[in-house]
Amino acid sequence: MCKSPSTNPNWHTFLTRLPKCEHHVHLEGCLTPSLIFHLASKNNVRLPNPAENPAYASIDTLTHRYGHFTSLDDFLSFYFTGMAVLQHKSDFEELAWSYFQQAHKDGVHHAEVFFDPQVHRDRGVPYSDIVDGYVAGCRRAERAFGMTTRLIMCFLRHLPLESAEKLYATALEAGDLKPHSDSDDEESRPRIHGIGCSSSEIGPPKDMYAAIYASAASKGINRTAHAGEEGDASYVAAALEFGATRIDHGVRLAEDPELMAQIAQRGTLLTVCPVSNVQLKCFDSISDVPIRKFLDAGVRFSINSDDPAYFGAYVLDCYCAVQEAFGLSVEEWRVIAENGVNGSWVGEGRKRELLEGVDRLIEEFKGLL
């Protein structure tokens, strides 16, 4: 994976130091093969028998297999198998902390991270261990790095609707899922800042969470949804219809110029994951991801890693890959960075700080790129 754009070495420094907002990364997608094997051994979790699935013979064979996903569902089978090693509150905290350390190195100043409670609960892990562990990882990163963080709880479309309904009720009862708050005060802000939905796209009804999203909207809870990744632009239209205010992926929107113009006009943020799209065979190469189309159409988007441990690319690698493929100008990076800040679920004060950081860096690099 690209570590340094070939054109001018200053680009790599610029992209590293650019204050980044990451809005689309699954914490369970940060489980590296070595952490999977380590936690499996610590927690006595049996990984699949290598005689049946040779990918699980060793860390190396698993890493190799991750380079050959054939589709979203092929990837998801490894993703859901891997996360079975997470058993204790400390495992969730360790996983989140490992992501935030890398994100800090990559110049992430604000991170909104997904997690998938349903599958952990189905394995018998108490809800509070999952959320307490992830919240502890977030707080540790905030204290250590001065970054801001947000947790987003994802509903999984391949599981029965009742399972999502139960999770939603539990999070509300626990007082974790609360209306959007601009505050970063630990006491008053929600522990979970919003809901999302992910997993298989084609198959489940497009509007399966309409009632949950309507309820969340009525309570002022933030809402995003994976849509338009493998599914066509009608999945994006459906997600907007059922009340998502942000779209995760959304790249197939480019096939529908009319909807694309509407989304540009509304200012809806797409959380684009270019390396993920190539690894999951949504596009043949990064240059086929509609980055240029979105910029030209005024569609707001951020650049994200999705499942960095599975796709071999953390967020800085994704920024570099985009620069390699599209040769963007500094002003185009300003637009991307500013749209990312403005589409973040933080208060105006934090947005101002982040925007000032972007501006300072661009001033510093003017004339060098």
Residues that constitute the known binding site for Zn(2+): 24, 26, 226, 306
Asked if 247 is part of the footprint of ligand ADE (rule: CB under 6 A), the reply reads no
Site for ligand ADE in 290-309 (CB under 6 A): 306-307
Rule CB under 6 A: choose which of 29, 33, 107, 133 binds ligand ADE. Answer: 29
Considering beta carbons, is residue 31 or 138 the nearer one to ligand ADE? 31
| DSSP element (H, E) containing 258 | helix 257-266
Asked if 112 is part of the footprint of ligand ADE (rule: CB under 6 A), the reply reads no
Complete DSSP assignment for 72-93 = HHHHHHHHHHHGGG--SHHHHH
Residues 257-296 as x/- pattern, contact with Zn ion by CB under 5 A: ----------------------------------------
Considering beta carbons, is residue 152 or 328 the nearer one to Zn ion? 152
Q: What is the smallest separation between the CB atom of 116 and ligand ADE, expressed in angstroms?
A: 7
Exposure string over 283-300, b if 16+ CB within 10 A, otherwise e: eeebeebbbeebbeeebb
Q: Which two three-digit tokens encode residue 170?
A: 């539990």
Q: What is the smallest separation between the CB atom of 93 and Zn ion, expressed in angstroms?
A: 22
Instruction: Choose the stretch contacting Zn ion; rule: CB under 5 A; options: 45-53, 168-176, 300-308, 324-332.
Output: 300-308
Name the pairing type of β-strands 108-115 and 20-26: parallel
Asked if 79 is part of the footprint of ligand ADE (rule: CB under 6 A), the reply reads yes
Instruction: Choose the stretch contacting Zn ion; rule: CB under 5 A; options: 115-123, 279-287, 291-299, 302-310.
Output: 302-310
Which residue, judged by CB position, is nearest to ligand ADE in the bound state?
198
Residues 304-323 as x/- pattern, contact with Zn ion by CB under 5 A: --x-----------------
Binding residues: 24, 26, 226, 306-307
Asked if 231 is part of the footprint of ligand ADE (rule: CB under 6 A), the reply reads no
Outline where DSSP puts E strands in the chain: 20-26, 108-115, 148-156, 194-198, 222-227, 246-249, 269-272, 300-303
Asked if 26 is part of the footprint of ligand ADE (rule: CB under 6 A), the reply reads yes
Outline where DSSP puts E strands in 27-70: none
Residue 29, contacted partner among Zn ion, ligand ADE, none, CB below 5-8 A by kind: ligand ADE
Residue 224, contacted partner among Zn ion, ligand ADE, none, CB below 5-8 A by kind: none
CB of 348 within 8 A of CB of 28? no
Residue 21, contacted partner among ligand ADE, Zn ion, none, CB below 5-8 A by kind: none
Determine the Cα–Cα distance for residues 160 and 164; give it in Å rounded to an integer. 7
Rule CB under 6 A: choose which of 32, 148, 149, 199 binds ligand ADE. Answer: 199
28 is catalytic: no
Among the listed residues 139, 141, 104, 62, the one whose alpha carbon sits nearest the alpha carbon of residue 309: 62
Considering beta carbons, is residue 151 or 341 the nearer one to ligand ADE? 151
- Of the candidates 112, 229, 230, 338, the residue annotated as catalytic is 229
Asked if 176 is part of the footprint of Zn ion (rule: CB under 5 A), the reply reads no
Determine the Cα–Cα distance for residues 266 and 236; give it in Å rounded to an integer. 14
Instruction: Find the DSSP H helices in 123-209.
Output: 127-145, 161-173
SS3 306: strand
Asked if 276 is part of the footprint of ligand ADE (rule: CB under 6 A), the reply reads yes
Q: What is the smallest separation between the CB atom of 276 and ligand ADE, expressed in angstroms?
A: 5
Determine the Cα–Cα distance for residues 237 and 232; give it in Å rounded to an integer. 9
- What is the signed CA dihedral for 35, 37, 38, 43, rounded to 10 degrees? 120
- Angle, helix 33-42 to helix 89-105, in steps of 10 degrees: 160
CB of 67 within 8 A of CB of 78? no
Residue 229, contacted partner among ligand ADE, Zn ion, none, CB below 5-8 A by kind: ligand ADE
Opening angle at CA 323, ends 105 and 115, nearest 5: 50
What residues are labeled active site?
A: 229
Q: Which residues bind ligand ADE (CB under 6 A)?
A: 26, 29, 72, 79, 198-199, 226, 229, 276, 306-307
Q: Which residues bind Zn ion (CB under 5 A)?
A: 306
